[in-house]
């Protein structure tokens, strides 16, 4: 405040000096942010916006966050998983099924070759389901 020369000034002058200081400071911060980050303005038709809004809702994200993550996923040739919570639940259920099958094989004293084959098949199924969920093939119309 001393550098602004408002010490001993009326409250209105002090308030005005504070406003001027904070306006200048906000402008400096905004300028620094613009140098570090870039933004784009994109226009959509009503139908396109609805498609984006629906997809964002399916992914439990805001439209802005969805657009950003979807664009980056596309550039990185990655799949944007729609619902990571549901995916975790599916992984848990697959693991429980595997554990249950192992227990059934042990309790029922199944021959080793049958229990081994069942266990192998369930592991194969689990790997394939998780692969499809995490990295689905894109159809030609998706490009």
- Average pLDDT across each block of 10 residues of the chain; the chain has 143 residues. List them in order: 67 88 92 86 95 91 93 86 78 84 78 82 84 63 45
> Count of H helices and E strands in the chain?
5, 0
- Together in a domain, 64 and 115: no
Query: Are 127 and 140 contacting, i.e. CB atoms less than 8 angstroms apart?
Result: no
C-alpha distances in Å from residue 38, one per residue of 4, 11, 117, 134: 34, 40, 55, 30
Quote the domain boundaries for residue 120. 81-143
Confidence (pTM): 0.48
- Together in a domain, 33 and 7: yes
pLDDT at residue 70, rounded to an integer: 92
Query: Are 83 and 59 contacting, i.e. CB atoms less than 8 angstroms apart?
Result: yes
pLDDT at residue 3, rounded to an integer: 59
- Together in a domain, 87 and 56: no
């Amino acid at each position: 405040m001393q550098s602004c020369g408002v010490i001993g000034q009326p409250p209105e002058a002090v308030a005005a000096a504070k406003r001027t200081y904070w306006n200048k400071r906000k402008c400096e911060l905004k300028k620094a942010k613009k140098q570090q980050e870039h933004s784009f303005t994109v226009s959509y038709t009503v139908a396109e916006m609805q498609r984006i809004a629906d997809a964002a809702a399916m992914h439990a994200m805001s439209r802005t966050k969805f657009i950003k993550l979807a664009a980056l996923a596309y550039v990185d040739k990655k799949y944007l998983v729609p619902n990571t919570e549901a995916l975790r639940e599916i992984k848990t259920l697959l693991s429980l099924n595997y554990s249950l099958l192992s227990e059934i094989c042990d309790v029922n004293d199944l021959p080793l070759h049958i229990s081994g084959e069942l266990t192998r098949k369930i592991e194969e199924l689990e790997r394939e389901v998780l692969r499809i969920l995490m990295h689905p093939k894109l159809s030609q119309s998706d490009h």
